[in-house]
Amino acid sequence: MINQRQLLELLKPLLEPIQEGVIITDRHGNPLVHNQAVTRLFGLAQASGALSLTRLGTYNLRAALIRAGLGQAQGDQHHCEASVQFDEEINVDGAPRWLRIDSNLVSLNGKDHQLRMIRLRDITAERRLSAVMQDQGSLDFVARDPDMIRLVERLNLVAGSDAAVLLQGESGTGKTELARLLHRRSRRAERPFVEVNCGSIPASLIETELFGHVKGAFTGAYKDRLGRFKAAHGGTLFLDEIGELPRELQPKLLRVLQDGGYEAVGSDRTLKVDVRLVAASNRDLRELVDRGEFRSDLYYRIAVVKLQVPPLRERPGDIPLLIEAILKRLEMRGYPGGLELNREAFNAFMNYPWPGNVRELANAVEHSVICATEGQIAPDSLPDCMRDYCAARRQRDPVAEDSETSERTRIALALHQAAGNKTLAAQILGMDRSTLWRRMQRLSMD
């Protein structure tokens, strides 16, 4: 019969590919085995001797477990009789780091052979994002992708200035939500936020829409109109799809951005406004400048701070978070709650390329909720485009479903070889990082 020591020796190589830190202790809280993720989380030297819960760098994990309500050791009783989960801030090499710690007993052969498993997950990125987005309006914007988190942090940094900001990215990536967030974080938050979609207004009307007109300026101008610049006075003007702005109107926009002055259509009276401009485009404005379709001086005026919003296919780790947030919003709107997303449907969401980005994802989730049966979102609940894509994908790779086990093993081995570095692991596997993220999510390896 296998003894405890032999079991631990078997467990050790199985723990290494796990990205979370794992410590297994005896019933008295003495560490028996741990994976290398623990040494990375606490910044420990690889050869630092026996592990101690009281001295993980500068952190006392035993004291934290007791503070969490597990109680002190009494006689033969383990100091951690209950399962617990809590978040803790630690300091690693002078930098703060947040861990989510959960601990529970594991029985081998009855109560006389109990071990304790302690799992530690780095949630620093999630905490940083939560700190950036404390206001209610930011709940529409959820992310765990490092590039997305850095983008929001940069947005928060520039919000306090009046510098013009250009958001570039594909349609549906959330540029409008980011513009609203920027306004809420700025000193202009109590003033108007005015949105204009330059691509949805006819070229013949865009000038009067932005700058207003006086009575009699043209046929149909029966009274004065202030225009969007005047409406945004003291606040923020968001020009979406600014790349569609007619070239003959660009000098007038440049002028108002330079000195705050403009004339309404049909008037020779100069008006003054105080407006912060935020612009967005799904086209590469730098390329439009090179082709002579967009003025270079205007480009440099609106792109003082340029932020690139990544498409959803490049941040697959955000898809589960977004699905959860969308389901909650739909429930608040009166849709059924508590629906289960089965594994096959989840895989379809993770594998679909999302050309329409977050906007398409929201529509697909809503469609799936409407078509769910017996409290479950299944493949038959999905939109036709997703089901057609999955069917075509299976035809290209008919053994895909049977290869999950070997794929999981390959990924786990690559992560072990890369010491948990996903970028390096992706290079070992011959794929880009976003593809690795997507496959790990599909295989529930995150």
228-239 tens-digit pLDDT: 999 999 999 999
In a domain, 35, yes or no: yes
* Residue 69: inside a domain: yes
Mean pLDDT confidence for 140-144? 67
CATH code: domain of residue 352:
1.10.8.60
Question: Parallel, antiparallel, or unpaired: how do β-strands 114-122 and 95-107 relate?
Answer: antiparallel
Model confidence over 341-382: pLDDT tens digits? 998 999 899 888 899 999 999 999 999 999 999 899 999 999
Confidence of residue 130 (pLDDT cuts 50, 70, 90): low
CATH code of the domain covering residue 114: 3.30.450.20
Same domain membership, residue 233 and residue 89: no
User: Which residues have CB under 8 Å from 132's CB, separation 6+?
Assistant: 138, 149, 152, 153, 156
pLDDT of residue 131: 56
Q: Are residues 253 and 146 in the same domain?
A: yes
14 pLDDT higher than 90: no
Whole-number pLDDT of residue 162: 93
pLDDT level of residue 116 (50, 70, 90 thresholds) = confident
Length of the chain: 446
Based on the fold, state whether residues 274 and 303 are members of the same structural domain.
yes
Reference 412, options 17, 137, 50; nearest CA is 17
Which of 142-156, 165-179, 400-414 is predicted with the least confidence, judged by mean pLDDT?
400-414
Q: Residue 294 belongs to what domain range?
A: 134-310
What residues contact residue 38 under an 8 Å CB cut-off, 6+ apart? Answer: 21, 22, 23, 44, 51, 56, 120
Domain identity same for 13 and 144: no
Give a yes or no: residue 381 inside a domain. Answer: yes
Token reading at 124: 């620093």
Same domain, 112 and 9: yes
**What pTM does this model have?**
0.61
Mean pLDDT, residues 213-226 taken together = 85
Is there a domain that residue 39 lies in? yes
| Same domain (yes/no): 326, 273 | no
Residue 21 inside a domain? The answer is: yes
Here the tokens at position 277 are 């401009």
Neighbours of 96 (CB within 10 A): 11
Is residue 128 in a domain? Answer: no
Q: What is the pLDDT of residues 163-177, one digit of tens each?
A: 999 999 999 998 999
271 shares a domain with 165: yes
Give the pLDDT score at 79: 41
Q: What is the CATH number of the domain that holds 208?
A: 3.40.50.300
Distance from C-alpha of 229 to C-alpha of 242, rounded to nearest angstrom = 15
Are residues 317 and 280 located together in one domain of the fold? no
**Cβ contact 87:98 at 8 Å:** yes
Asked if residue 176 and residue 105 are part of one domain, the reply reads no
295 and 158 in a common domain: yes
Judgement on whether residues 382 and 352 belong to the same structural domain of the protein: yes
Residue 430 confidence (pLDDT) above 60:
yes
The tally of domains found in the chain comes to: 4
How do residues 318-328 score in pLDDT, each as one tens digit? 888 899 889 98
Query: 43-47, 90-94, 310-314, 403-407: which has the minimum mean pLDDT?
Result: 403-407
3-state helix/strand/coil string of the chain:
CCCHHHHHHHHHHHHCCCCCEEEEECCCCCEEEECHHHHHHHCCCCCCCCCCCCCECCECHHHHHHHHHHCCCECCECCCCCCEEEEEEEEECCEEEEEEEEEEEEECCCHHHEEEEEEEEECHHHHHHHHHCCCHHHHHCCCCCHHHHHHHHHHHHHCCCCCCEEEECCCCCCHHHHHHHHHHHCCCCCCCEEEEECCCCCCCCHHHHHHCECCCCCCCCCCCECCHHHHCCCCEEEEECHHHCCHHHHHHHHHHHHHCEEECECCCCEEECCCEEEEEECCCHHHHHHCCCCCHHHHHHHCCEEEECCCHHHCHHHHHHHHHHHHHHHHHCCCCCCCEECHHHHHHHHHCCCCCHHHHHHHHHHHHHHHCECCEECHHHCCHHHHHHHHHHHHHCCCCHHHHHHHHHHHHHHHHHCCCCHHHHHHHHCCCHHHHHHHHHHCCCC
Of 310, 343, 360, the domain-final residue: 310
Burial of 189 (0-12, 13-18, 19+ CB in 10 A): middle
Confidence of residue 293 (pLDDT cuts 50, 70, 90): very high
Per-residue model confidence (pLDDT) at position 108:
65
Calculate helix-pair angle for 146-158, 175-185, nearest 10 degrees: 40
Q: In the chain, what percentage of residues exceed pLDDT 70?
A: 86
- Within a domain: residue 57? yes
Under 8 Å between Cβ of 292 and 330 = no
Over residues 149-156, the mean pLDDT reads 88
Q: Which of 122, 150, 167 is the last residue of a domain?
A: 122
257-287 pLDDT per residue, tens: 999 999 999 998 999 999 999 999 999 999 9
Q: Which of 257, 245, 240 is nearest to 178 (CA)?
A: 240
> Which residue, of 266, 284, 310, is where some domain finishes?
310
Stretch 101-119: mean pLDDT: 77
Q: What is the CATH number of the domain that holds 445?
A: 1.10.10
User: Tell me, what's the pLDDT at 409?
Assistant: 74
Provide the percentage of residues in the chain whose pLDDT is more than 90: 39
Res 138 pLDDT > 60: no
Q: Check pLDDT > 50 for residue 395.
A: yes
Non-local CB neighbours of 302 within 8 Å, separated by 6+ positions: 164, 166, 242, 257, 277, 279
Is pLDDT above 50 for 113?
yes
By CB atoms closer than 10 A (0-12, 13-18, 19+), residue 15 is buried
Average pLDDT, the chain: 83
pLDDT, residue 437, reads 80
Same-domain check for residues 345 and 429 = no
* Structural domain contains residue 421: yes
